[in-house]
C-alpha cells in the first residue's frame, strides 16, 4: 500500500435473514437509507432500475453524491469488478476527490436469521495528500451506515 492509499473495515452482526439484508444492501433506496441524513447518491443516468441485483461487472455510470440529499459535492464513476449475488460485491471506481475508491461489501450468514455484514473501503486521494488524512471521515460515514443497518426494520437495535 502506498502512503497515499488508506483503508478501513467496518463490520456489524445483524439479526435478520441474509437474503433480506442482501436485498436491501444492493437496492438504491436501501443504500440511500444507510447514508441519510448525511448524503444520498443519485441513480446513474439511463439506469432507472439501478441496483446491484442485475448488472454484469463493468462500468455502471456516474452517481452524484449529494450532501444532506440536495447539494452536489462529489461523484462516483461506479465500476463493479466482482459480484457474487447474495454474498458480496467489489466496486473499484474513481471519484472527483479520489483517484481510487474501492468498496467491498461481504455478507456472511451466521445461521438462518443472522448475518455479518462487512464493508472494506480503500481509497487514494487525487490531491497529493496521504490517504490516512481522510480515515476519520470515511470511518465516520461507514460507522453511520452500520448504525443505520442495525436499526433497519429487519435488524435488532444492538
pLDDT tens over the chain, length 158 residues: 568 999 999 999 999 999 999 999 888 899 999 999 999 999 887 665 555 556 567 788 899 999 999 999 999 999 999 999 999 999 999 999 999 999 999 999 998 899 999 999 999 999 999 999 999 999 999 999 999 999 987 744 44
Q: Is residue 96 situated within a structural domain?
A: yes
Query: If you ran DSSP here, which 8-state letter would residue 3 be given?
Result: T
Total domain count, the chain:
1
Residue 141 structural domain: 6-151
Neighbours of 118 (CB within 10 A): 15
Cα angle value 81/65/148 (rounded, 5°): 85
Torsional class of 54: left (φ above 0), alpha (ψ -120 to 50), beta (otherwise) = alpha
Q: What are phi and psi of 102, to 5 degrees?
A: -125, 120
Helices 28-35 & 18-25 angle (0-180, nearest 10): 80
| Cβ contacts of 43 within 8 Å, gap of 6 or more | 28, 50, 63
pLDDT of residue 14: 96
Q: Is residue 157 situated within a structural domain?
A: no
Q: Is residue 158 situated within a structural domain?
A: no
Q: Is residue 30 situated within a structural domain?
A: yes
Task: Say whether pTM exceeds 0.75.
Answer: yes
Count Cβ atoms within 10 A of the Cβ of residue 153 and give its class: 0-12 exposed, 13-18 middle, 19 or more buried: exposed
Q: Is residue 100 situated within a structural domain?
A: yes
Q: Is residue 112 situated within a structural domain?
A: yes
Q: Is residue 156 situated within a structural domain?
A: no
Kindly report the CATH number assigned to the domain that includes residue 109: 3.30.530.20
Q: Is residue 60 situated within a structural domain?
A: yes
Amino acid at each position: 500500500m502506498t502512503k497515499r492509499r488508506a483503508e478501513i473495515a467496518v463490520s456489524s452482526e445483524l439479526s435478520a435473514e441474509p437474503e433480506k439484508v442482501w436485498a436491501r444492501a444492493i437496492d438504491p433506496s436501501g443504500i440511500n437509507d444507510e447514508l441519510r441524513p448525511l448524503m444520498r447518491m443519485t441513480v446513474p443516468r439511463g439506469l432507472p432500475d439501478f441496483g446491484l441485483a442485475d448488472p454484469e461487472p463493468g462500468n455502471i455510470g456516474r452517481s452524484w453524491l449529494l450532501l444532506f440529499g440536495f447539494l452536489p459535492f462529489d461523484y462516483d464513476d461506479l465500476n463493479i469488478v466482482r459480484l457474487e449475488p447474495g454474498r458480496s460485491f467489489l466496486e473499484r471506481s474513481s471519484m472527483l476527490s479520489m483517484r481510487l475508491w474501492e468498496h467491498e461489501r461481504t455478507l456472511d450468514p451466521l445461521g438462518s436469521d443472522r448475518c455479518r455484514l462487512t464493508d472494506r473501503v480503500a481509497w487514494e486521494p487525487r490531491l497529493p495528500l496521504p490517504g490516512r488524512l481522510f480515515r476519520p471521515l470515511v470511518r465516520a460515514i461507514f460507522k453511520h451506515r452500520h448504525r443505520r443497518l442495525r436499526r433497519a426494520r429487519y435488524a435488532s437495535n444492538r
